[in-house]
Amino acid sequence: MMRRLLWPSVALTLVVAYPLLFATPFQQRIGALVLLYAIAASAWNIIGGYAGQVSVGHVVFFGCGAYAAMGAYTHFGLPPLVGIPLGIVVAVAIAAIIGTPTLRLSGHYFSMATIAVAELVRLVVTNTEYLGAAVGLSGPTVPRNIFDLSFISALPYYYLFLVILLITLAITWWMTNSRMGFYLRAIKDSERAARSLGAPAARTKLYAFMLSAGLTSVAGALYAMMFGFVDPESGLGILISVKILIMAALGGAGLLFGPLVGAAILVPLEELSNSWLGGKGAGLTFVVYGAIILLIARFQPAGLLALALRIREQRRKASEVSASVGASHAP
């Protein structure tokens, strides 16, 4: 038992100590962004990884949270934090609207519907004056009090995001060990078999989608609070969907820590390439992203973390075999 807890506690200590060990603003900012994207990617993982339904329009939920947080400030003068529940409600409602018809059909329809709804919402918001149209909405320029959660340093955001990430992972872990997680595994293996044994397939997938949407909207709200504004590109652009998706898939879709691993690889990569290559780098970053997704899909669809776990398992077996061979040869 002690041995089992050793590595997780070492890892947690390192994560908690990171912004103190790497204390420049740039490093702290990267750390906070890794955790932020890990929250969104972990939320995606619930529907994309565990339920096996690939959403390519998750940014729409991200945008719900971001716009609700900034809207609460712009229109009512409230702290952005207050917008979070509203964002969750809207995101869950949109998930129900997309999910109810499409999760009964083959997975392709779901993917296409998510992408179409995300673009639809982006176009509608871009033409809605109340939501700031093409300019977007801003948060408080100067924090009025602590509840505005508006800081100059990335350090407070780092710990805030860490707490939310731990909650997200705890919810995911709890879900996988509940009846719902059991159903999802059965459905992912064979939907027909699961249904014939009485697992409510469409409803379980829908619940997973709604849960995933709600959590993603929280990530969007946090993003808007950190950057202090949201516009159609940063809150509803298809590239945010791409980032969320690729981080989960690179690390390992359907594994608890997969999205965190993916985010920890890709966020620094993007930040560094942006600071090295400047504006010209934006296009190149997404060329690399595309290539990475393509290669993962082609050679390692289960993700890097799954690959690492498999190698470790093989090593363990190999050492057990050699140990037993050695034992049998002992005089």
Partner 1 sequence: MSFVILQVIVGGLLLGAVYALFSSGLTLVWGMMNVVNFAHGDFVMLGMYVAYLVYTLLGAGPLIGAPMAMLVLATVGIIVYFGLIRAVMKGPMLAQILGTFGLALLLRYSVFWWFGANFLTLPENLVGGTLDLGGIRIQASRLLAGIVALAVTFGLHLLLTRTSLGSKMLAVAEDSTAAQLMGIRPDTMQAIAWAIAAGATGLAGALIATFFYIVPTVGETLAIVAFVTVSLGGFGSVPGALVAGLLIGVIESLSGYLIGAVYKDIVVYALFVSFLWFRPQGLMGKS
> Which residues form the interface with partner 1 (CB under 8 A)?
48, 52, 54, 56, 97-98, 100-102, 104-109, 111-113, 115-117, 119-120, 123-124, 127, 238, 242, 245, 249, 253, 280, 283-284, 286-287, 289-298, 301
Nearer to partner 1, 124 or 146 (CB): 124
**HSE (CB half, 13 Å, CA atoms) of 259?**
28
SS3 229: strand
Of 80 and 303, the one with the shorter C-beta distance to partner 1 is: 303
Least distance to partner 1, CB of residue 269, Å: 15
> What residue spans of 190-303 are helical by DSSP H?
191-196, 201-227, 232-236, 238-251, 258-277, 281-299
Query: What length does the chain have?
Result: 331
**Shortest CB 284 distance to partner 1, Å:** 6
Residues 267, 240: Cα–Cα separation, whole Å: 12
By beta-carbon proximity to partner 1, the closer residue of 108 and 312 is 108
What is the C-alpha to C-alpha distance for residues 117 and 113, in angstroms, rounded to an integer?
A: 6
Query: Smallest distance from the beta carbon of 40 to partner 1, in angstroms?
Result: 17
Looking at the Cβ atoms of 82 and 119, the one nearer to partner 1 is 119
Tell me how far, at minimum, the Cβ of 106 lies from partner 1, in Å.
8
230's enclosing H/E stretch is strand 229-230
Nearer to partner 1, 163 or 295 (CB): 295
CA 121 to each of CA 47, 53, 117: distance values in angstroms, whole numbers, following the listed order: 20, 21, 6
**What token pair was written down for 331?**
């005089």
The least distance separating partner 1 from the CB of residue 141, rounded to whole angstroms, comes to 30
